[in-house]
Structure 1
Amino acid sequence: MRPTLRQLEYIVAVADAGQVGLAAAQLNVSQPSLSAQLSEVELDLGVTLFQRGRSGAKITPAGEEVVRRARQILHEHKDLRAAAQGGGIFQGRLRLGVLPSIGPYLLPGVVQRLHRDHPSFRLIVREESTRDLDEGLRSGRLDMIISTPEDHPGAKADMLFTEQLWAALALDHPLLVAATPLTLPALAGQTFLTLGSGHRLSHIVAGLAATAGGRVSDEYEGTSLDAIRLMAATGAGVAILPSIYAATESRRGTDVSLHLIKDPAASRTLALIQPNLPKPRPGSELLAEVLRSEATRILRAA
């Protein structure tokens, strides 16, 4: 059968490395041998996969689709072997994409538990924006992602939990005289601080600001929840923070005052998302349960 699985691995390696020589070194094969295999595949398929030159190997439009399908075939083959051995995803490696507004606060306990229960399991985590997570899942660069399901139509989503949103106020903010929790009308006229536009959280915050009669800051877009919390501490505005992060902050002490926003729209739902294959990857249900369990533990401890 051509292209062979090994040839598919070569194609994906060159696409990832962007250079034939670098891909050959990573695969521990000679560059001439790898080039010959690429040429053989291109001849068999009747398309040019890469434009090769001094600047590297640039993937062609036809090559992008071949690489996407090659990743999928290789993943299916890996799943087949894992299923036969009875370990599912925990038999090998999983590339997990996660929102930066949840990963650093949810995953440490999850990784510790998985390492204890499945010592041979390799979890590779990539923190990316909602937009980049979707691209990574579609291209096969990521095996699964933790994200907001409405942003990934056509994928399979296992719901994990729903987070309420909190307002972080400077310690001398006038609203501190008000009772907790806060309602949206109480935030009228306030400047809302949030992540950049590539994140679903920014769209949720924009909706809250519009309902409250406030505005989203156009002077500052944070790249992390820590960054917008620090801006709120200086009095630059009201930072909107999800529950898992807020729970982490409340345990270690904070430079802001945290107030639950009492409104149905002040929430987001997170899911474990994977390509919509005929059957979910073996072991994904267990991973989802571990994630749910850790989220529950963090929120109960707050």
Structure 2
Amino acid sequence: MSLPVISNVDLKLLSVFRTVARSGGFSLAQAALNVSQATISIHIKNLETRLGLTLCQRGRSGFALTEDGQRVYDASNALFNHIEDFRSLVLGYERLVGELQIAVIDNSVYHPTFQLGRVIRAFGLLDHNVDITVHVAPPNQLEQMVLGSQAHIGIGFFPRRLSQLEYDPAFTADMEVYCGSQHPLFDVPEDKLSPQLISQYRHAQRGYVSYDQLPENEKHFNFTARAQAIEGLAHLILSGQYLAFLPVHYARNWVSQGQMRSLLPLEYAYSSQYEIIRRKSAGRTPAEKKFFELLTTEG
């Protein structure tokens, strides 16, 4: 692929492509772009010709990005974020303008004290002209989004340390091991439970935590399933086939409904530190700086 200097026409075509990809298809992008499907199709075809790539597939099976299309979409998001950052840093001075991309782990909405919605409200009450996007993703994806400039700020659990990122504390979460109501251990009296008994059953591992990063009393578990996101672990627990660790704030609703039970919390419970990550080398726009300030005071 050979791409000359990016022109205004290229930026327009990429902008149309981003809207189509975000909307999930040509017809769904019509309202956002205020043009016909035929015009959108011409723009996408021109971009594909320009890049020498097939970006999407559409037909009876529906709309889908190709592998190249996903790569171009990710790169174009980073490109437009950089453009907005440039405008904000160079032209906006201390005005809150541009885009703000926030990426957060998938279970934080249930936390009793950390409330991202409260932070967004505090930001919204300020005098700003900022377009905010909130992404929800597992920890390893949060890292990649921040590193790839797809997100200005990531909020989640990060067991590893990457030299390109800055880490600031956000909140703590208590972790306990749970079983579902259909699991053989659900009705076993507490005084009959033991680590030896619990270790005999199948466990689901958090896919974003390596074996070396596991707590010592979790390393002897029999892992036969895994999930990259907290919600995936909840599904495995509710199946009655697996035990797994969950944040207490996330499991509380199922526990109150009698669908989950914590096992030996005195033996297995521990506290996990959730953090805010930002890329070290990135310029801090006024919008990002203000939102980070609110995260550390209002969150």
* 1:61-114 deviation line (CA, Å, top 9, x unaligned): 4443332222122112222333323456x4354332211332432224323332
Counterpart of 1:287 in structure 2 is: 291
Q: Which stretch of structure 1 is more off in the superposition, 70-79 or 147-156?
A: 147-156
Kindly report the root-mean-square deviation, in angstroms, between the aligned alpha carbons of the 2 structures: 4.7
Residues 290 and 70 (structure 1 numbering): CA distance in 2 closer, same or farther, change over 3 Å? same
Q: Percent of aligned positions with the same letter in both sequences?
A: 16
Matches within 5 A, 1:106-185: 106=114, 107-117=116-126, 121=130, 123-134=132-143, 136-137=145-146, 142-150=151-159, 153=162, 155-161=164-170, 163=172, 165-167=174-176, 173-174=190-191
Residues 238 and 133 (structure 1 numbering): CA distance in 2 closer, same or farther, change over 3 Å? closer
Residues 225 and 54 (structure 1 numbering): CA distance in 2 closer, same or farther, change over 3 Å? closer
Letter in 2 for 1:48: L
Counterpart of 2:29 in structure 1 is: 23
How many residues were matched structurally?
A: 269
The whole-number CA distance in structure 2 between the counterparts of 1:187 and 1:95 is 43
The whole-number CA distance in structure 2 between the counterparts of 1:97 and 1:59 is 22
1:9 to 4, 15, 29: 15
The whole-number CA distance in structure 2 between the counterparts of 1:241 and 1:85 is 41
Counterpart of 2:215 in structure 1 is: 207
Shift of 1:53: 4.0
The whole-number CA distance in structure 1 between the counterparts of 2:246 and 2:46 is 54
- Do the aligned residues in 2 keep the contact of 1:115 with 1:121 (CA within 8 Å)? no
Counterpart of 2:274 in structure 1 is: 270
Unaligned runs of 5+ in 1: 176-185, 296-302
TM-score (norm 1): 0.63
- Do the aligned residues in 2 keep the contact of 1:93 with 1:123 (CA within 8 Å)? yes
Residues 42 and 268 (structure 1 numbering): CA distance in 2 closer, same or farther, change over 3 Å? same
Shift of 1:10: 1.0
Residues 194 and 17 (structure 1 numbering): CA distance in 2 closer, same or farther, change over 3 Å? farther
* 1:117-163 deviation line (CA, Å, top 9, x unaligned): 45655544333322443455566654432123455846533322463
2:134 counterpart SS class: strand
The whole-number CA distance in structure 1 between the counterparts of 2:70 and 2:225 is 37
Shift of 1:41: 2.8
Alignment of 1:54 onto 2:28? no
Letter in 2 for 1:207: P
The whole-number CA distance in structure 1 between the counterparts of 2:49 and 2:244 is 59
- Do the aligned residues in 2 keep the contact of 1:79 with 1:281 (CA within 8 Å)? yes
2:215 counterpart SS class: helix
Matches within 5 A, 1:183-222: 190=198, 197-200=206-209, 206-210=214-218, 215=221
1:96 to 93, 97, 102: 102
Residues 195 and 140 (structure 1 numbering): CA distance in 2 closer, same or farther, change over 3 Å? farther
1:4 counterpart SS class: helix
Residues 4 and 226 (structure 1 numbering): CA distance in 2 closer, same or farther, change over 3 Å? closer
More helix by proportion, 1 or 2? 1
Residues 168 and 284 (structure 1 numbering): CA distance in 2 closer, same or farther, change over 3 Å? same
- Do the aligned residues in 1 keep the contact of 2:101 with 2:132 (CA within 8 Å)? yes
The whole-number CA distance in structure 2 between the counterparts of 1:284 and 1:223 is 27
- Do the aligned residues in 2 keep the contact of 1:49 with 1:62 (CA within 8 Å)? yes
Letter in 1 for 2:125: R
- Do the aligned residues in 2 keep the contact of 1:197 with 1:203 (CA within 8 Å)? no
